[in-house]
Structure 1
Amino acid sequence: MKSMSRGMTVWGLLVVMALVAFTALLLMRAVPVYLNDMKVQNALEKVATDSEMSDAGGRALYGALQRYWDIERISHLDPRDVRVVREQGGGRIFEYDYEARISLIANIDLVFYFEDSVPIGRRP
């Protein structure tokens, strides 16, 4: 009786390993960008919910944001690029949108776009 071996060939194993390596590369490049955006959101929420900042002027708000940016080492977005916008009801909100571009391989980049708004002076 003839026995037939079944299983993965060397070429199949190489393809699977290449896919795993490429996925790992994508994750290693993408996760820090998302963690950075989480730091941005956290900094804005902390400044926005600070009771001393509810009636503060723009200079004080941006100073507080700059302190968080320095402590958390936030990149891809400058605190001056965060806008303070007045709502129709008289309240204010932080708004931001930015694009993060990360080199993947040679001249191939990953591009991430983030935007959000956080009300100032109200608990989330």
Structure 2
Amino acid sequence: MKRNQSGMTLIGFIIVLAVVGVFIYMGMKLVPMYSEYFAVKEALKELSSEAGISQKDPGRIKDLFFRRLYVSYSDNVKQENVKIARRDTGYIITVDYEVRRPLIANIDVVGHFNAEQVLSRGADD
């Protein structure tokens, strides 16, 4: 009676382990980029819910936004990435930035992020 063994060989296991390792490594590079983006979105949402925000000048609004980002350790968003435009109901704040992280050798991961929030007068008047 002949018995057949089934299972994964050592070489197959090493290949699977290498593929899983590459995906884990990529996740370690991508997750901080997206967590920073969600911190930007949260800071914008908190800013829009602040009382009287549409009555403040754009410089003060930027300062309040960057204070919220400072708490989240977001260091990829710079002053030149934040634009504030006047609208009839208040302001619209746009954050448009890019994050570049080295992946393997000369291959980089680039993330381009864009977030907008309306700071309306209707909510605080």
Q: Do they fold alike, i.e. is TM over 0.5?
A: yes
Partner of 1:16: 16
| Contact kept in structure 1, 2:90 and 2:119, CA below 8 Å | yes
Partner of 1:107: 106
Partner of 2:56: 56
Moved over 6 A (4+): none
TM-score, normalization by structure 1:
0.87
Moved more, 26-35 or 48-57: 48-57
Identity of aligned residues (%): 28
Unaligned runs of 5+ in 1: none
Q: Provide the rounded CA distance (Å) in 1 between the counterparts of 2:80 and 2:73.
A: 15
Unaligned runs of 5+ in 2: none
Supply the RMSD in Å over aligned alpha carbons. Answer: 1.7
Question: Which residues in structure 2 correspond to 1:32-111 (within 5 Å)?
Answer: 32-87=32-87, 89-111=88-110
Deviation at 1:101, TM superposition (A): 0.7
Deviation at 1:80, TM superposition (A): 4.0
Q: Provide the rounded CA distance (Å) in 2 between the counterparts of 1:47 and 1:92.
A: 12
Deviation at 1:79, TM superposition (A): 3.8
Q: How many residues align?
A: 122
